[in-house]
A and B are shown apart, each in its own frame.
Chain A
């Protein structure tokens, strides 16, 4: 899967399921948690979505604000795990 496809799937999930705002023009490099768009507890939801959608697992120590603050950062990590 291309990184762009990963990004767009993440964006759709975050906007519709977490932010409840499907129309929000979320940018790939936009800070999510440090800007307050989503709270850090929402990372659990992102983690489960990633597990189910991409069939990879991100362990707790990696599911942190500094690693997962933008869609770009999430996608890079997912891509790396998918090998």
Chain B
């Protein structure tokens, strides 16, 4: 057995270490209703149940096989995740599929992952049974259900030796619907990332974590559930729905359990400002917090200011915020503000920024933009700003693509050698320095802080969720016969500090004198809401052959967006949500 978690090759050794030393101490507390109903799990129980789960998995798998994890938030997921690690099986946490109908995204993920086993808990398994006709792959899988794990089976667990370069789990979080990409994370990627998060946030042997983040999402899984284990400290967590239903519950959990660490995407802080009442604030003491991460979507200075003002009476301070940046391809973290450091920001000229040039302004103006520093690496990652076309390093006053070389960078995309090479095997010109991972995000480095300014790809981020425009465009063209396939564009437009989805679509020639444009627009709004869980806030139907395309026939989304903002589209019909644009 290891003498110190720093020596651990995998998190299995870490759990075994703490089970032996402090077995009766709390590893997890699941807040079942987000409030007082609690389900605890000690380190000794975590170890025992993980061994039992692993022993069950070992009946159906060999090391390196893949196991889908289909779980709602709760302790069962944690046992299954560690069970996979204990069995040397690659865990594939995924979002629970829609329980009423098959979705293309889940279907393509299912066939991509090539899993041997699927793990779930009893209540969900009963519901999933109704989907067996929708997903033929479900019949081929061996199902492991937590409640059916045989008592005492942990004795037959055969210890596996996980090596640093063995795969620990996949993160299916990137890629559009048609091409889901499983990011391959090794044990080394995972332990290094946990160390990066722990050092950066100064998580120590007195720290306590509180989280409401989704368990299948990199930030919720690694920061929310795995980092605390590394220090033998507890995580108090609730389901995202408990938070969304009543945001107060998250802050109350921090207050009640004296949490020192937490994190959430930017929108969660806006939600707290809107939803937590003055009476509720009187019951909150946030004085235990040492740091609170703001990550997984663009970080907004104004949001952090408003939150700090609103919760100052509860003992909150602006500089407790830790803006951070990362992506699944780097396991979760690239950079983050250090605990105790002040928030760093600069004021930029927006016009220059649109041309990828940095012009710093002494004070705010109508044409300025406040850029917040997202800290730095705590494990010596090599972070560079590179011109995405020439692949040469950018000058100090230029914005470029963020490239990363680090022990936390994943091994690539499962079964996709071409995409893997494109993203993970980039070399800087002309020195041939590398290999670097291309993040697809744009940014710059200022005062030793990484700043993020946007994305190269057209990905749209709304309320912390990523949307690929091509997925939304496909939904549109299928929803009404009047729409000309491949002649639509979806993009985000900011208004009042929030990004909104806007779509523009050509109608077919024979429909240009239609008297039911409203019906066509309504069909788009309904189809996008149904397939993506997202409202379109403006629909513009335009004349045939007027949408901007490249010479190779690709939709020019940013040019179309520009025309929308300037009012240069050849509009046949337009609907805009009131009070937004």
Contacts and interface: CB of A to CB of B under 8 A. Distances in A.
Nearest to B100: A20
Contacts of A19: 100
A48 interface: yes
B494 to A, nearest CB: 14
Interface residues of A, number: 28
Given A45-B530, A51-B525, A66-B275, A34 B98 contact: no
A60 B535 contact: yes
B395 interface: no
A1 interface: no
A70 interface: no
Nearest to A59: B579
Contact of A40 (B244, B246, B526, B580): B244
Interface of B: 98, 100-101, 241, 244-246, 271, 274-275, 498, 522, 525-526, 528-530, 532-535, 577-580
A72 to B, nearest CB: 16
Interface string A52-67: 1000010111011110
A44 interface: yes
Nearest to B98: A39
A59 B496 CA distance: 13
Given A40-B244, A65-B244, A57 B577 contact: yes
A28 interface: no
Given A19-B100, A57-B578, A65-B241, A49 B526 contact: yes
Given A34-B245, A52-B526, 13 more contacts: A20-B100, A21-B100, A33-B245, A40-B241, A43-B533, A44-B533, A52-B522, A57-B577, A57-B579, A60-B498, A64-B244, A65-B241, A66-B245
Given A20-B100, A49-B526, A57-B578, A44 B535 contact: yes
A44 B241 contact: no
A60 B580 CA distance: 10
Contact of A66 (B246, B526, B534, B580): B246
A42 B528 CA distance: 11
B241 A34 contact: yes
Contacts of A64: 244, 271, 275
20 contacts: A19-B100, A20-B101, A33-B241, A33-B245, A34-B241, A39-B533, A40-B244, A41-B534, A44-B532, A45-B530, A47-B529, A48-B522, A48-B525, A48-B526, A49-B526, A51-B577, A57-B577, A59-B577, A59-B580, A64-B275
Nearest to A45: B529
Contacts of B528: 44
A61 B525 contact: no
A52 B98 CA distance: 25
B525 A69 contact: no
Nearest to B577: A57
Contacts of B271: 64
Nearest to B242: A34
B173 to A, nearest CB: 16
